[in-house]
Every structure is written in C-alpha cells, then in structure tokens.
Amino acid sequence: MRIVSACLLGVKCNFEGKNWKNPKLLEEFLSGDLFPVCPEVMGGLSVPRVPAEIQGGSGLAVLKGKAKVVNEKGVDVTDEFVKGAFEVLRLAKLVGAKEALLTEKSPSCGCGETYDGSFSNRTVEGDGVACALLKTNGIHVTCVKTSKM
Ligand code: SF4
C-alpha cells in the first residue's frame, strides 16, 4: 500500500477547493493500491482556506520548531500543519505504507521545493511539513507533477 495526496485523485481539497487530478494515479487507486490523505484538512483546516506558506525554513525546520507556517492573512497555522503531518504519518503506519506519492510545492505535501513564504510565487529548496515528517520516518517520497483542475 502507498499513500497519495488526495488532491491527485480528484478530491477537491486544495486551498481553492480544487484538485490536481492525475488520471494514471486514479486508475491505480481504483485497483486498490493507494490510500489518499490530505494533511491540511486532517490538521483541521477548511476547504477552501486562506493559502499558507512556510516562513523561515523548510518543513523539517517547522517540525524542529525553527520555522513556522503562516497564511496570507498573517495567521500562524503551524499547529494545524504539524497536526496534519502526524495524522498522515499515523495513517501511513496503520496501512503499512512504505512509499508516498505527493504533490509539488505545497507547504504540506511539497517534495524538494516549496513556496518561499513571500506569497509571490517564488520557490525554495526544501520539503513541506508532512513530506519532511514521512521522510524522517523512513517512507520513500515520490514527487508528482501537478496540473490544476
Ligand atoms: S497538496 Fe496535500 S495538503 Fe494540499 S490539497 Fe493536496 S493533499 Fe491536501
């Protein structure tokens, strides 16, 4: 079993209430191999929601208490992002997942790069909070390119 960002399967759970459906992954889901998760919703955030970005470091730094996640209105949503990441990890362990397929750039799921915290569409190297937590717990992460639906 692998876990997958729910928005990649067509679930309209991103901040705008949209998804990044990937037809190939949807086929794999229908064959029963994928378990969908959305760390931001699982952390208690709504759909739609004010977009948020990591400020002061990467998702790993957030987990270490050295950076935070702030939404575009200036509200600190770090607790929700950390809670959602641990909920994803809990479910990954529950279903025995050794691999995760995650979206790019998200402050939660983003693998390899995230937006830089300035809300100006610029990116920096680093993982989102949930991605970082999964990696530090031995789960292999594969990054999936997105196209908004
Ligand atoms: S990228 Fe991750 S946190 Fe964002 S909507 Fe998709 S599953 Fe949810």
Give the start-to-end residue ranges of the domains of the chain: 2-144
Residues in CB range of 121: below 8 A, 6 or more apart: 115
User: How do residues 44-63 score in pLDDT, each as one tens digit?
Assistant: 999 999 999 999 999 999 99
How many degrees, rounded to 5, is the angle at CA 23 between CA 16 and CA 45? 25
Q: If you measure from the C-alpha of residue 37 to the centroid of ligand 1, how many angstroms do you get, rounded to a whole number?
A: 8
Q: pTM of the entire structure?
A: 0.96
Nearest by Cα to 1 from 96, 140, 111, 131: 96
| Best residue for ligand 1 mutational test, from 9, 80, 89, 109 (most atoms within 8 Å of Cβ) | 109
pLDDT tier at 147, thresholds 50, 70, 90: low
